[in-house]
Structures are given as structure tokens and as C-alpha cells.
């Protein structure tokens, strides 16, 4: 029972991380109908920047975090303007390949700058050691609490932005129908850039949070690829179009992975995600089909 509780707590923490990645993917999907396969690479790169500041140049944790988020916002905005804009209305295949190209480019660049051989550890924001209940230690530490709260705060902030501000209204209008939004005077191009920038900023935050967990480390390829898949799976569980769904999907996936990890095997986490992904896609492909197949005859 205690083990189950611990697994649940651990699943919740990880789930919040997946939820945040999923949310970033959903924001970009809603804005441009593109799945950003570079998400994992973008957040890996910003995390390396933060790591460089914090570990090599001994900067303060929070300074590094802020720099990472700002860098993420910049990378996201520039990526949308330069790389994604030309393929936005083209065949989905082109967009997939361009974002994948960006992912690979960022992985290579990070490898060139920081090297592939070492897995660098990242300082946590708070203690790793779990809270105590009686004489037993929970698998939930102040650092985990920090992760959960940060993601919650960001989710709420995004909710307020989208639902309560005129900027958010414009973004929703753009996502719903760019042509009409453009006719109504919304500057569609800028909002798309902003959408990518915000999503990448969110991704950057996640990267630093993940790197700072007890099992986290920073390296050009590996954990961040898996993170992308988890985020994608979570987003698909939620329907890819719904921010709320993404958060729920993230938590559900976090719990599933946590239980499966412990009760089945901890060697094949990505397989669990694959199984969940395929199961969801097979059970209800209708709600999550792309636009082309919804085309009416």
C-alpha cells in the first residue's frame, strides 16, 4: 500500500512534466496544425544553456532558469518565423520533416558545443529527500512539490491568458480559423510566432525541471527524445487539440508509466508509452484524426 502511494506520487510528479510538454505541443498544434517534433531538442538545448550557466559559470539556479526560458522563447519564435512559416500550409509531411530536421540540428549543435560523452547532472531547486510520514520516507520531495507547483502555476497562467485576455481571445480565434481572424484584423502571423515562442518557453522550463530531478541529467540525445514521446502520447490521449486534455493525458500517462515501471519492468518505459499511444489511436482515431481525412466529399 505504501509502495502504491509512492508510485502514485511519483507518477503524479512525472505526469505534471509530461503534461507540460504535452501542453507545449498542443499550443503549437492549435496555432499551426503542426506537431513540433523539435520540442525535445529545443528544451534540451535551453537546458544545456542553463546547465552551462549554473554548473560551469556558477550562476544562481533561478538566473539560469530565467535565461533558459528566455532562450526558449527566442528559439521558438525564430524557428516559427524562419523554418516553420514556409511549410505551415503545405503538406503535413513537409512540416514533420522540417521540425525533425531542427531537432537533429539542435542535437548535433549541442553535441558539438558540450560533447556527447558525458551525462551532466543538474542541480535541483530544492532537496531531493522525500517528506517523512512517521518513520517512512515518501517518494515525494520538496523538489517534486516545486515541479508540480510550477507546472500548475504555468497551466493556470496560460488558462488565464487564453480565456481572460484579449490577446488570448485573438490566439483562440486564430487557432479556430486563421482566415476569418485575419479578416477581423488579428495579426495572424505575429500570433503564430507568439504561440511558438510561448510553447518553447514552457518547454524550456520543463527541461530545467526534468534535469533537476533525482534521475535527471543533461545530454544531447536520450532522455529528451523520450520526453518528446511521452509529451506526444499525453497530448494524443487528450486529443491533441485540448489544453485541458493534455494536462489530464500527462497525469494519466505519468501514473501508467510509474505503475508499469515498478510492477512490470523498468527497462521498457518507451514501450509502455508506445503501447498507450497505439491503443489510444486505435480506440478512437475519429476524435483525433487530422483535418485532411475529415474532408467532406
Partner 1 sequence: MADELESPAGALIAPTSASSTDRFGVLSRSTLLRHTLAALVGFGVLWLLITSFSDYRNSSWIAPIAFTVCAAAGLTVLVGLSGQISLGHGAFMLVGAYTLALVQEHWTTSHGNLAMIGLLAAAAAGAALFGALVGVAAARLRGPYLAGATLALALGLPTLPSYEKLSGKLGGNAGLFVSSPNPPNGMDLYRWQSVICCASAVVVLWVLANVSRSRVGRSFRAVRDDEIAASLCGLSVPRVQVLAFVLSAAGAGVAGGLLAMIDLTAGPQAFPLSLSFGLLAAVVFGGLGSLAGAIYGSILITLLPLWSQDITDALSVHSHKVSSNMPLMVYGIVLTVAMLAVPNGIQGLLRSLRLTLAPGRRR
∠ CA 242-206-217, nearest 5°, is: 140
Query: Cell for 60?
Result: 544562481
Q: Any contact of residue 18 with partner 1 (CB under 8 A)?
A: no
Q: Any contact of residue 287 with partner 1 (CB under 8 A)?
A: no
In this complex, which beta carbon is closest to partner 1, that of residue 183 or of residue 271?
271
Is 54 within 8 Å of 274 (Cβ atoms)?
A: no
Q: Any contact of residue 297 with partner 1 (CB under 8 A)?
A: yes
Is 207 within 8 Å of 54 (Cβ atoms)?
A: no
Query: Among the candidate windows 59-67, 91-99, 119-127, 133-141, which touches partner 1 by CB under 8 A?
Result: 91-99
In this complex, which beta carbon is closest to partner 1, that of residue 202 or of residue 236?
236
Q: Any contact of residue 66 with partner 1 (CB under 8 A)?
A: no
Rounded least distance, CB 217 to partner 1, Å: 17
Contacts of residue 275, Cβ cutoff 8 Å, sequence gap at least 6: none
How many positions of this chain bind partner 1 (CB under 8 A)?
Answer: 58
Q: How many CB atoms lie within 10 A of CB 241?
A: 15
In this complex, which beta carbon is closest to partner 1, that of residue 78 or of residue 169?
78
Q: Any contact of residue 289 with partner 1 (CB under 8 A)?
A: yes
Query: Among the candidate windows 31-39, 61-69, 150-158, 194-202, which touches partner 1 by CB under 8 A?
Result: 31-39
Binding partner 1 (rule: CB under 8 A), the pick from 78, 96, 125, 173 is: 96
Can you spell out the DSSP letters for 225-286? Answer: HHHHHHHHHHHHHTTSS-HHHHHHHHHHHHHHHHHHHHHT-SS-HHHHHHHHHHHHHHH-TT
Give the C-alpha separation, 296 to 167, whole Å.
Answer: 32
Q: Any contact of residue 56 with partner 1 (CB under 8 A)?
A: no
- Distances from the Cα of 78 to the Cαs of 52, 75, 203, 230, in angstroms? 22, 5, 15, 25
Q: Any contact of residue 39 with partner 1 (CB under 8 A)?
A: no
Give the C-alpha separation, 122 to 211, whole Å.
Answer: 6
Could you tell me which residues are beta bridge partners of residue 132? 137
Query: Among the candidate windows 67-75, 174-182, 228-236, 250-258, which touches partner 1 by CB under 8 A?
Result: 228-236
Is 130 within 8 Å of 140 (Cβ atoms)?
A: yes
Site map 249..268 versus partner 1, x via CB under 8 A: ----------------x-xx
In this complex, which beta carbon is closest to partner 1, that of residue 105 or of residue 126?
105
Across the chain, how many H-helices and E-strands are there?
A: 11, 2
Rounded least distance, CB 80 to partner 1, Å: 13
In this complex, which beta carbon is closest to partner 1, that of residue 29 or of residue 140?
29
- The residues that touch partner 1, with contacts defined as CB under 8 A, are 34-35, 37, 83, 86-87, 92-98, 100-109, 111-116, 220-221, 225-226, 228-229, 232-233, 236, 265, 267-271, 273-274, 277-278, 281-282, 285, 288-290, 292-293, 295, 297
Amino acid at each position: 500500500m505504501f509502495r502504491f502511494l509512492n508510485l502514485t506520487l511519483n507518477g503524479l510528479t512525472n505526469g505534471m512534466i509530461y503534461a507540460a510538454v504535452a501542453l507545449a505541443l498542443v499550443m503549437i498544434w492549435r496555432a499551426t496544425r503542426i506537431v513540433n517534433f523539435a520540442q525535445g531538442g529545443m528544451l534540451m538545448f535551453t537546458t544545456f544553456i542553463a546547465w552551462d550557466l549554473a554548473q560551469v559559470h556558477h550562476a544562481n539556479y533561478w538566473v539560469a532558469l530565467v535565461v533558459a526560458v528566455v532562450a526558449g522563447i527566442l528559439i521558438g519564435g525564430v524557428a516559427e518565423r524562419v523554418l516553420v512559416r514556409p511549410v505551415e500550409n503545405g503538406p503535413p509531411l513537409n512540416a514533420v520533416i522540417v521540425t525533425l530536421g531542427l531537432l537533429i540540428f539542435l542535437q548535433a549543435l549541442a553535441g558539438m558545443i558540450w560533447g556527447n560523452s558525458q551525462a551532466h547532472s543538474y542541480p535541483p531547486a530544492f532537496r531531493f529527500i522525500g517528506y517523512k510520514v512517521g518513520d517512512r520516507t515518501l517518494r515525494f520531495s520538496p523538489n517534486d512539490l516545486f515541479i508540480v507547483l510550477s507546472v500548475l502555476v504555468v497551466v493556470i497562467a496560460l488558462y488565464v491568458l487564453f480565456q481572460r485576455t484579449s490577446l488570448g481571445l485573438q490566439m483562440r480565434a486564430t487557432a479556430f480559423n486563421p482566415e476569418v481572424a485575419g479578416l477581423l484584423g488579428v495579426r495572424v502571423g505575429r500570433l503564430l510566432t507568439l504561440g511558438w515562442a510561448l510553447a518553447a518557453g514552457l518547454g524550456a522550463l520543463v527541461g530545467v525541471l526534468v534535469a533537476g530531478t533525482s534521475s535527471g541529467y543533461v545530454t544531447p540525445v536520450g532522455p529528451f527524445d523520450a520526453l518528446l514521446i511521452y509529451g506526444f502520447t499525453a497530448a494524443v490521449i487528450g486529443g491533441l487539440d485540448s489544453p485541458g486534455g493534455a494536462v489530464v493525458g500527462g497525469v494519466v500517462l505519468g501514473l501508467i508509466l510509474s505503475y508499469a515501471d515498478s510492477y512490470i519492468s523498468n527497462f521498457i518505459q518507451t514501450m509502455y508509452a508506445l503501447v498507450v499511444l497505439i491503443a489510444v489511436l486505435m480506440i478512437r482515431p475519429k476524435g483525433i484524426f487530422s483535418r485532411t481525412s475529415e474532408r467532406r466529399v
